[in-house]
Amino acid sequence: MPDLDPGPGVRADARRNRRQLIIATREAIAARGLDVSALDIATAAGVGVGTLYRRFGTKEALLDAVVLGLYDELCDVARDCMERADPWDGLAEFVMELAGAHRDSRGLAEVTAECEGPPSPELAERTAALQDAVKRLTERAHAAGELRADVTWQDILICSRAPLDADHCLGVDAGPDGWRRVVTILLDGIRAPGEPFLRARRRRFTGRDDPRVEWEMARWCG
């Protein structure tokens, strides 16, 4: 899998083309998933298809590089959440971040849904790291008595995919922030009985241009 940074020895125009290809690919898979053509990516990046193949060798190598970058962002989020003083805050924040990342990028959602395992050793390594982080976040919340005893780390991961199809039902429109409400209700449901209202914060939008969009939410119901 190619490195996202081509290094100082590469010409400025080559670095610019590589950067544009990375940006175009992130945007393309976010909107359309992994089944995007090399021509569409190159056109969006403002370069020829030949440039894509010279920089990355294959379209698959470019996709791998971009997806690996998204996984690295999630690993950074997991590390930040592990440092939260309150175990519940750390767990709730990670679930909200992962759910948002799935919403932001159709391609990322397709990769994380693969049941046959990651397509490369690098992604397998990141997957294992994320699973370990979720296990630790879950254990901390259990130890603090803030997470229901019957909730597993596997449940936590599956919950993060719940809002992927949470926009419309039987003529009801959830609105642009409806997915956040779904995640908030799920988090509230898995919290140990007797705990106060839920506060969940999403600090970044993985895969978008501005990674510092902040918001804070109290429980929607009640």
Q: What is the CATH number of the domain that holds 155?
A: 1.10.357.10
Together in a domain, 100 and 48: no
**pLDDT, tens digit, for every residue of 178-215?**
889 999 999 999 999 865 544 545 555 444 443 333 32
Together in a domain, 185 and 160: yes
Together in a domain, 45 and 78: no
Within a domain: 3: no
- Is residue 55 scored above 70 in pLDDT? yes
Within a domain: 6: no
Together in a domain, 106 and 20: no
Together in a domain, 79 and 112: yes
Last residue of a domain, one of 20, 44, 61: 61
Q: What is the CATH number of the domain that holds 55?
A: 1.10.10.60
Q: How far apart are CA 136 and CA 22, in angstroms?
A: 32
Together in a domain, 117 and 194: yes
Tell me how many domains the chain contains: 2
* Per-residue confidence band for 62, with pLDDT thresholds at 50, 70 and 90: very high
Q: How crowded is residue 217: how many other Cβ atoms within 10 Å of its Cβ?
A: 19
Within a domain: 4: no
Together in a domain, 50 and 153: no
* CA nearest neighbour of 56 among 70, 46, 41: 41
Please give the residue range of the domain that contains residue 95: 67-217
Instruction: Please tell me the predicted confidence (pLDDT) of residue 61.
Output: 93
Within a domain: 2: no
**pLDDT, tens digit, for every residue of 114-157?**
866 666 888 889 999 999 999 999 999 999 999 999 999 999 99
Task: Please provide residue 98's backbone torsions phi and psi, each rounded to the nearest 5 degrees.
Answer: -70, -40
Together in a domain, 85 and 125: yes
Q: How far apart are CA 108 and CA 127, in angstroms?
A: 12
Do residues 34 and 63 lie in contact, with contact meaning Cβ atoms separated by under 8 Å? yes
Do residues 15 and 7 lie in contact, with contact meaning Cβ atoms separated by under 8 Å? no
